[in-house]
Structure 1
Amino acid sequence: MTPTTLASLSDPQACRHDAHNVPVHDWDSIRAFGDAPAKPDGLHVIRTDDGGHLDVLTSGNPFRSATTPVLVVFNGAVTQRDQRRPPFLSGRGIAQETGWPFVAISDPSLAHTEDLSIAWYVGSQTHNAQRDIFRVLRPLARAQRNLWLVGGSAGGFAALTLGHMLGSAASVFVWNPQTDLLEYWPGYVQHYVRSSFPEIAGRMAQPDWKTHARQAFRRHNQVHSLPRAFLPRQRPRRLVYLQNHDDWHVVSHCVPYLHAFGYVRVGDGLHAQDDEHVVWFPEIGHGHPAPHKDAVVRALRAVTDDDWTARQSVEYLDATELFPRVFWSPQTRPRDLTNWGARVTGRIRIEQDKRRLAVRLLGYRERFGGIAAEFETTVAGRRRHVQRYSVGSYEYMVPETIPGEAEVLVTVQDGFGNVLRRASFTVPALPATQGSTA
């Protein structure tokens, strides 16, 4: 991998504009694009002040005032990145299904190196992508009453960020978004920072790498954490935030957002700031899945209807089979159980049978409120094995690769990451014959 330099930031990987089979329109500046009385459909290559450019795909004449919703779609992580060249543009399938005008924006930072697959539309030390995308979208937000910013995961972070920046001029529909990019998988974040901020690339291997990254974002006026950047009333016109029920993003990204913006629980898996700003924990699948395109289209048709509030739309969608019913389980959706006290903690049992441990919930169905267990095995104070919460299992067997006596710390938390029970157990060594063959 070739290190990123200031020269490579201004001379990124060549884009294949002709690969999208649409007319290509070149613009000298964002101001020229914004001031143009007509913006024909196609791929707009808009030059930016740093010498780079933004790639913006339009279809259905979205800048013309219309009564239908208008979609602005942001990419998540790009798959098979080493086999593809920018620009990376999403949303055409959704737009075709809905018949609505749409805009797709490629993340300019993905052109910095050939193996960078995720960059959150933040920018680099020479280019504030958030500022420039805001400048592109502001005239569209003024022209369109029903503008919706759409995306999942990293694209969800971008949609939320621009939604909060545009305020009441835009609405947001996202699924499983990051809300603080520094809380995503470290390898991906560090690679992005090395590629886009050469000034601190050498510090990404240090234990305090997050501090250096956070300082760089602040120095260049870029939002990296939504809870840190915006006040609760600085928000989109309407917000529908889907967070899969057992995604690790619940604790790391969604809960901090809920707390920072004052959301309260109003139903099983439903939190609201008010009737137009809701966070929903549906059963999309397991882990960090994207909803199927058909589900996204159905959901967008509901939430963009101004005859319903966002909360009414979500309650309707939750009552239908928007997602596979095989996963549907409202009682196990994540929630804060700290106020339940002994009603929950007194019914958590941790049982031991030699080297096997199990967590039992008496009187509650398994995973009630998103309750999860983590098992950490140590030998002489040194961690040897961890079965994390995300595994979703209440049972644990100390691996045979640890044949001797060991300590197992069992931690039980609710779906919002609050610790409900913690206990340590000594497990015996394997029998001599079994241990010798391990």
Structure 2
Amino acid sequence: MFVGGSGGGFAALYYASRLNSDASAFVWNPQTDILAYNRTFVDTYLTQAFPAHCAATEETTTWLNQRSEECAAADVHRSVVTEEHHDPRSMRRLLLLQNISDWHLSAHTVPYLKAHGFMSVGTGSYVLNPNLTVQIANWGQGHAPLPTELVIDHLRAFLDSGRSPLEIGRDVALDERCDPTVMSRAPMDLRPLVPEFHDQWSAAIEATTGSVRISLGNIPEGYGGLRLGLIQTSGTSREQLAWFSTDTTIVFPPEKLWPGAQLMVVARDGLNNHLLHLPVEPDASSAEVPTSDSQTVPTSIKEVDAKEPAVTASLFIYGSCVTRDAFALLERPNVAEYVARSPIVSAMAAPAASLPVGMDIDLIDSAFQRRMVTWDAEKSLPGLLANTAHGAVVIDLIDERLGILDLGDGAVLSLSTEAVKAGLTRHAGTLLRVGDPDFLSRWDAAAQRLINLLQDERVILNRVFWAAEDQNGQDLTQKFPVDLNNQVLDHMYRILQEGLDCTVIDYPRNLMVADSEHRWGLSPFHFTRGFYVHFLDSLREILDEQ
């Protein structure tokens, strides 16, 4: 049996699942992703434990990408959120105890619950089955360790195979040394209640004091982990005025309010699901606040099943999911071929005489991923363009974010996640990344070779950039290197536009919004449905004109 809290909780979860059904884990307030922790501590750990793979860096915009790539290259299993390195179902017994006021709840435990499909059974309990349980409790303030006497008492009960972790977890939450009122405030999926919320809730502002009062009807404050934030919108611009809390009175600096802005309360439940945007009305007893029309919130691509009319021409896609995903909305996706995971510097290089030592493409389970890595290694793009019947080529440059490995003698490979699964490591060659000093000069030369290849093609340039926020107004620039990549993308698109006789699809600013509930997860290039519909409408218009 593995026992531990915080970082020790991560180790306990990881190793218990690696031993499969022979092991159990009793943990509290665990980290579930090493990189979702204090950056200073993460840097110290990685650079000292894996100096051959992890370099010191002061760069903030590319930190997450760099550390993710380095962990993959060093074979550091940094997360128990994905099933690639951790499956709670492989354990004999699990009791994960989470203190409700700890920031680990939203940053570590909620992603763990969602990723592995734990279901709420009330009383702050989440189960895969009664022997695999996560329990929310309240035994102190913040990231407080589980008190020693609680550990001893309930660990003794955990060793009794006649009692389930679900029973023991509820005993912890109801223990007299804990606060049992946590039960009503434990995180819940409140999305089924949204229609009721629309009917009952209201929000009004006191403009002189800069406070917004929210009435929740018969919903108790903090129910299900309910949290409320405040944004202002004007046209396509939006700004967060107050971060999320359980308080129903939100105070913000009144001098920050834009003239003519619409104030909106944003609600999320304890599982971080977006619930609604609630317009703020002026209080009758205070000065009126001028408002503009409230901004339409884009719909998640996965929430809408309606199919779009077909695109008539057969299209060759060289790019990424931002283009390919749009075709999932069509009645008849007319894609002649799709080439991804092969940035231009790699795709336009000569094929390597052999793969690096230790790289085996057959290690990749997914047939699609094997095909993409094979095509990148064999530099198949020119041959596929020549031998695949198609009416036009659609290009986007989102995959240009991927690192490139220069193997020497002109051989280059993409250091994609899929290639890492095949055994490719960053030490197989010299790593070249967006932002490196000689990156753009290498890219410009490769782009010219692509331009020459496409001279006789009908090219449509899908000019997509990274989104700076999601549909809830959540800022993505602190988590992802948005600005750096968009600066580089602007240069890249300009080079292709100048060299090719191509048609360009651009996007209004209000559609460049990430979807926090996208089927591939939150990312600055996973967009809301409106983005993909705009692409398809623009594509039909271009094809009809041509």
Under a length normalisation based on structure 1, what TM-score does the superposition of the two structures give? 0.56
Deviations, residues 162-204 of structure 1 (Å, cap 9, x unaligned)? 1111222221111111111222233433443344444443555
Q: Unaligned regions of 5+ residues in structure 2, if any? A: 288-546
Q: How does 1:213-232 map to 2 (within 5 A)?
A: 213-228=67-82, 229-230=84-85, 232=87
For 1:209, the aligned partner's letter is W
CA distance in 2, matches of 1:268, 1:278: 12
- Does residue 235 of the first structure (1) align with residue 90 of the second (2)? yes
Which amino acid counterpart does residue 248 of structure 2 have in structure 1?
Y
Does 2:190 correspond to 1:346?
no
Distance in 1, matches of 2:218 and 2:279, equals: 24
> Which residue number corresponds to residue 249 of structure 2?
395
CA distance in 2 between counterparts of 1:253 and 1:329 reads 19
Gapped regions of structure 1 (runs ≥ 5)? 1-147, 432-438
> Does structure 1 residue 414 correspond to structure 2 residue 269?
yes
1:220-248 Cα offsets, whole Å, 9 max, x none, are 22211112234646532210001122333
Distance in 1, Cα, partners of 2:277 & 2:212: 13
Paired letter, 1:339: P
Query: AA paired with 1:192?
Result: Y
1:369 aligned to 214, 224, 240, which one?
Answer: 224
Match of 1:178 in 2: 31
Distance 1:212 1:275, change over 3 A: same
Indicate if the aligned counterparts of 2:189 and 2:269 stay in contact, CA closer than 8 A: yes
CA distance in 1, matches of 2:137, 2:15: 24
1:401–1:350 CA distance, 2 compared to 1 (3 A)? closer
The answer to whether the Cα contact below 8 Å between 2:242 and 2:252 also exists between their aligned partners in 1 is: no
1:244 and 2:99 matched: yes
> 1:360 — aligned with what?
215
CA displacement at 1:400 relative to structure 2: 6.3
The one-letter amino acid paired with 1:215 is E
- Partner SS, residue 256 of structure 1: helix
Say whether residues 1:152 and 2:31 are aligned partners.
no
Deviations 1:319-370 (A, max 9, x none): 4324145xx2311211111122312343332221212112221102111111
Give distance in 2, aligned partners of 1:352 and 1:423. 12
Asked whether the equivalents of residues 174 and 242 of structure 1 are also in contact (C-alpha less than 8 Å), the reply is yes
d(CA) in 1 for partners of 2:38 and 2:203? 31
Report if the CA contact (8 A) 1:250-1:416 is conserved: no
| 1:184–1:410 distance in 2 versus 1, CA, 3 Å | farther
Alpha carbons of structure 1 residues 338 and 379: separation in structure 2 relative to 1, 3 Å: closer
Q: 1:185 to 1:362 in 2, by over 3 A?
A: farther
Choose the corresponding residue for 2:158, options 303, 328, 332. 303
Deviation at 1:285, TM superposition (A): 2.9
Change beyond 3 A, Cα 1:409–1:201:
farther
Instruction: Report what 2:64 is aligned to.
Output: 210
State whether structure 2 residue 184 is matched by structure 1 residue 331.
yes
* Alpha-carbon distance in 2 for matches of 1:309, 1:206: 45
**How many angstroms apart in 1 are the aligned matches of 2:28 and 2:198?**
32
Which amino acid in 1 is paired with 2:66? H
Say which SS state the counterpart of residue 255 (structure 1) adopts: helix
1:278 maps to 2:133: yes
AA in 2 matched with 1:156: G
Q: 1:370 touches 1:415 (CA, 8 Å); kept in 2?
A: yes
Q: CA–CA distance in 1 between the matches of 2:222 and 2:177? A: 22
In 1, the alpha carbon distance for the partners of 2:242 and 2:282 equals 16
Give yes or no for contact 1:231–1:261 (8 Å, CA) kept in 2.
no
Distance 2:20 2:93 in 1: 9
* Letter of the 1:223 counterpart: H
Q: CA deviation at 1:423?
A: 4.3
Task: Indicate the residue corresponding to 1:92 in structure 2.
Answer: none
The structural deviation recorded for 1:275 is 1.6
2:203, 2:44 → 1: CA distance?
41
Matches of 2:178 and 2:200, distance apart in 1: 32
Q: How does 1:23-172 map to 2 (within 5 A)?
A: 148-172=1-25
Q: Is the 8 A contact 1:172 1:240 kept in 2?
A: yes
How many equivalent residue pairs? 280
Counterpart of 2:126 in 1: which secondary structure?
strand
SS of the equivalent of 1:267 reads: coil
Q: Contact conserved, 1:275 with 1:310, CA < 8 A, in 2?
A: yes
In the other structure, the counterpart of 2:55 is: 201
Residue of structure 2 in register with 1:74 after alignment: none
The CA distance in 2 between the partners of 1:189 and 1:233, in whole Å, is 24
Q: In structure 2, the residue corresponding to 1:340 is in which secondary structure?
A: helix
Q: How many Å separate the matches in 2 of 1:196 and 1:377?
A: 45
Q: Which has the larger radius of gyration?
A: 2
Contact residue 195 and residue 201 of structure 1 kept, 8 A: no
| Partner Cα separation in structure 1 for residue 40 and residue 271 of structure 2 | 25
| AA partner of residue 235 (structure 1) | S
> What SS is found at the alignment partner of 1:207?
coil
Structure 1 Cα separation of the partners of residues 241 and 50 of structure 2: 34
Q: Does the 8 Å contact 1:243/1:282 carry over to 2?
A: yes
Q: TM-score, normalised by structure 2?
A: 0.46
Q: Distance in 2 between matches of 1:296 and 1:376?
A: 42
| 8 Å Cα contact 1:190-1:204 kept in structure 2 | no
Question: Separation in 2 of the partners of 1:192 and 1:424?
Answer: 45
Task: For residue 411 of structure 1, give the secondary structure of its aligned residue in structure 2.
Answer: strand
Question: Identity across aligned pairs (percent)?
Answer: 27
Range moving further from structure 2, 248-257 or 153-162: 248-257
How far 1:160 moved relative to its partner?
0.9
Tell me the equivalent position of 1:314. Answer: 169
Q: Are the structure 2 counterparts of residues 259 and 385 from structure 1 closer, same or farther at C-alpha, using a change threshold of 3 Å?
A: closer
